Structure 1
Amino acid sequence: MFKNLQLRQKFTILLTIILVMGLSISGLVLSSVLTQNAKREVTSTALMLMETMISVREYTDSQITPELKEKLATSFAPQSVPAYSAREVFENLRKKGDYRDFFYKEATLNPTNIRDKADAFETTIVDKFKSQPKVKEISDFRSLPGGDIFYVARPLSVSKETCLQCHSTPDVAPKSMLTRYGTANGFNWKLNEIIGAQIVFVPASKVIQKAHQSSLGITLIVSLIFFVTILLVNIFLNREVVRPLKRITRVAEEVSTGHMDVEFEELSNDEIGNLAKAFKRMKLSLDMAMRRLKRPPGNTHEGTGG
């Protein structure tokens, strides 16, 4: 079937096959690249949010807690706990449209507030930070029954001695805190010890959606470029190859039927032009041969002696 098609149709099919194969291969590569870019973009946002929460913790520890010191002697105020302040600020931030899909947790192995207790998966992250102090950041996907999520984690350590005022031993902790949370959890921390991890979660669909949106846009642009290329190639092929070949074919057919008054036009110096020149030389040779054939034979007269 392919051999019965016209030259322009063959080129169109060939270019279309190249387009499909090119889009398929580039689509796979592009999807991987854009997914990595989306992960980096989400990671960058998550790290910015973590730095913001660190600032909130430091503000709470340096300015809020000292102001509530006298009150803490008689009644416990959770607003004085840096982890509590960070969590509450983040929840307020999530009310903004850009961050509603982000979730924040200070997953701690031995927290005062059970809300911050690390689950089995988060515990493995904390243990990795503890066993590999040089690892400062972990990001990957986590599978959950409700769907995959993407997470970014950083180690959380006891960086200030003021933290030990509440988390060293129960006998030095504020009585009001013991009344609220008891003495079973949140103690025996040590300075510079990694006690948990800052983790920001975001649904994996958000990462994949970002990648797909970028991939779709680029694919449409590439497809448009290929379509325009196929159109331009067809126009060029029709003008520079198909039409000249049709003219040469038509003239050759007329010459084959004995019409020697037609001429092969030399419109270019490329292969098509060389073909026209070859046909022109062939026509001249054929014309000369036909003239010789049409020439009447000469008469030879022998003289007789007398």
Structure 2
Amino acid sequence: MRVTRLDRSARTYIAGHRGLVGGAVLRHFQDAGFTSLFTRSSSELDLRDAAAVEAFFAAEKPATVVMAAAKVGGILANRTYPADFISDNLRMQVNVLDAAARHGATNLLFLGSSCIYPKFAEQPIREDSLLTGPLEETNDAYAIAKISGVLQVQALRRQYGVHYISAMPTNLYGPGDNFHPTNSHVLPGLIRRFHEAKQNDAPSVTVWGTGTPRREFLHVDDLARACLFLLENYDAPEPINVGIGSDLSIGELAELVADVVGYRGELQFDSSKPDGTPRKLLDVSKLHDLGWRDEIPLRQGVEQTYAWYLEQVKAGSVRAA
């Protein structure tokens, strides 16, 4: 392990800055005093285009790279577009990581996902559970792409001796999330569903699945803090988990979101819809041993996220009920 303070004046590239994670990382790095941050939108730079990425890195030569760009979605999106999820993510990762190594980036953080771990991994899930069992079939294409990113980081470390690392966040949420009615993740999806039910005085809200799977949720601003912390305090080939170390059932989450939103109707569960992995709690002892802890409690984070959602509805950025 190494402890090194990143040069706040060095050129630092945040890939995926318009997404939930990349946006939070950009905000945190700005607050932390980085003065040479730069980004590109997907319309300015298609990370799936190898030639374009090569030219970009040759011209910009970032010293530090945070790879937060990814094609992401919930269970329905992953089941419907598995070819897109594996192809787009593989191409983006290979292009960015290889170009970073070729053009002298000295620090890189690759962000994966807790879905890389086996469906029935021992709980809480340790980092060494990777590649020890079959994946959850509803998002295996995305998971394989992210596993490939982890292995690419390890390969680049072995071949070039670079200080590249990979981190595996748990389920994320917060301002900037995707509230699409069908392609969102569970927490923003519940916020939208309960808000619209409240607006329409709906007597009940149907939640996908049985409500029994357990999930861990980390506020994206906490993840952003962890990203900088790891770049300065972690240097090993193995991925490191980022989470809070506790979980709750989807049913309990639904009740919490309904309470925050102020929806008083009935909750119904549609068991014909997939539950996904029964439980996905990360072992974060390695991260805790380094000295990092989350700071934003779940209810406070949900309240903050709902307030942000209401602002977007008012501004017309999200279609109201």
TM-score scaled by structure 2?
0.19
Give the structure with the higher percent strand: 2
> Computing the radius of gyration over CA atoms, which structure comes out larger, 1 or 2?
1
TM-score scaled by structure 1?
0.19
Give the structure with the higher percent helix: 1
